[in-house]
Amino acid sequence: MTLKTFRLPQNAWFGDEAVEISLPSDWEIMVAGIPADQCEILTDAGVRERIDHPVGSSALNELAKQRNKAVIIFDDLSRPTRLEKIAPYVVEQLLAGGIKEDKISFVCALGAHGAHTRLDFEKKLGKDIVSRFSVYNHNPYENCAYAGETRYGTPLYINREVLAADLKIAIGCILPHAFNGFGGGGKNILPGISGIETIHTNHIRVVQDLKDRGVGFVGNLGIRENSKMKDEIADAVKAVKLDFLINVLPNSSREPVGLVAGDPNLAYEKGVAEAGKLYITPYHGGADVVVTNANAKASEALIALILGTRSLKESGGDIVTVVNCPAGQIVHYMFGQFGEDYGGRLWSGSSIIPQNIGRSIVYSHCAGQRFGLHNEAMERDDWQDVLKLLQEKNGPGTKAVIYWDGTMQFLDKS
């Protein structure tokens, strides 16, 4: 038997080493790739040039003049943004503008995710930043102050360290997002540094909207027009008085192929327009087998699994989720499971899992990636074992689809 071999990006934040898989050459194999992977990677000079020439805003060193305290809000390890070079440059510009070093702090925009350790902060920001500056976890349950309400009446409770600063900068990345069309932008504020009541009220509205429209858990990937989240995010950005945004657009190896900076609204709109071209994926349907890779958001592998099921034939097929995340799946206080039959405020059990999954297989070298169909899924750490399972029910002519990274793609079904 001859095989076709593919090397999928894996091990984000833990070495970034590819994982090799193979499928029979007599199968009909379609690879759903990512346009961002065809783009040139930005050099360090290119990154700095974009930060120095922002959209609709003065440069950072100019904004820093006459300011006393700066806070830098950054996304957590569930996002692929590499900040070890960006964060020091931002600090350099703030110091050049006259802000004192002891008046610069960092806040991790965890939203309802679990707290990070110092080692996590080092992965994200680099050792120098962690050793020189105060880096804080956002705590959605404590130390949030009232900052008004959104146009829909959602109360805005915001991290006090952020509110205390008179210069506020947010750094993250723009990728397709299941609720908001695209992540990045003001999501560092809502839910990133919002209180649990704010997050809960907002997410109830979004989840109900997805149900009402019958589009499922990943229904808004790449589609902002239908999002019930974007208006409230805009209101939160205005209430917090966010001054400056930096958003990276990464490829599947987490290298920057684009970057927008400047006014939080104008820069984000420019970034979303680019993201719409960088992460769109041709739709392939009616598959017997889907291999869906989870790397950019490896700790939220459920996104890749559910996206992949959209390519399975209606009568059901096999789906293989490839995920190697030594830290495991994200702790999510809102949607996570915390016992055999209970979870966070919006935990929905297995109700979000599509019905066209015949068999769910998790291919991982890190056992215990608990997400989605974990109780029913078959975990394997050897690809040959996975291949054996697939060939039990799938012979020559099998239609297969490979999603290069199902956590950073959205489908073109036009």
**Measured on CA atoms in the order 95, 99, 105, 108, is the torsion positive or negative?**
negative
pLDDT of residue 370: 85
Looking at the predicted structure, is the pLDDT value of residue 197 above 70?
yes
Claim to verify: residue 145 and residue 257 sit in the same structural domain:
yes
* Average pLDDT score, the chain: 95
Residue recorded with tokens 């039959």: 341
Please say if the pLDDT value at position 218 is more than 80: no
Residues 234 and 108 occupy one common structural domain: yes
Between CA 382 and CA 99 the distance in angstroms is 53
Q: How many whole angstroms separate alpha carbon 348 and alpha carbon 199?
A: 17
Q: What is the per-residue pLDDT for 413? A: 74
Q: Which of 241, 256, 278 is the last residue of a domain?
A: 278
18, part of any domain? yes
What is the tens place of the pLDDT at every residue in 87-116? 999 999 999 999 999 999 999 999 999 999
Residue 102 sits in the same domain as residue 242: yes
Number of domains in the chain: 2
Residue 355 confidence (pLDDT): 83
Contact by Cβ (8 Å): 220, 226 = yes
* One domain for residues 322 and 218: no
Predicted local confidence at residue 352, as pLDDT: 66
Q: What CATH number has the domain bearing residue 296? A: 3.90.226.30
Helices 264-278 and 230-240 pack at an angle, to 10 degrees, of 150
Reply yes or no on whether the pLDDT at 350 is more than 70: no
- Give the mean model confidence (pLDDT) for residues 280-296: 97
Give residue-wise pLDDT tens across range 249-286: 999 999 999 999 999 999 999 999 999 999 999 999 99
pLDDT interval class at 224 (50, 70, 90): confident
pLDDT at 131 > cutoff 80? yes
List the domain range (segments joined by +) for residue 261. Answer: 44-278
Residue with tokens 């209970």: 342
For residue range 27-71, list pLDDT tens digits in order.
Answer: 999 999 999 999 999 999 999 999 999 999 999 999 999 999 999
Domain-located, residue 39 = no
Same domain, 378 and 260: no
Q: Residues 221, 162: one domain? A: yes
The pLDDT of residue 184 is above 70 = yes
What would the pLDDT profile of 304-342 be if each residue is shown by its tens digit?
999 999 999 999 999 999 999 999 999 999 999 999 888
- Alpha-carbon span 209 to 211, nearest angstrom: 5
**201 and 341 belong to one structural domain:** no
The 10s digit of each residue's pLDDT in 379-411 is: 999 999 999 999 999 999 999 999 999 999 999
> Residue 118: pLDDT above 90?
yes
In whole angstroms, give the CA distance from residue 23 to residue 393: 14
Q: Is the pLDDT of residue 9 over 70?
A: yes
Does the residue 193 lie in any domain? yes
Percent of the chain with pLDDT over 70: 99
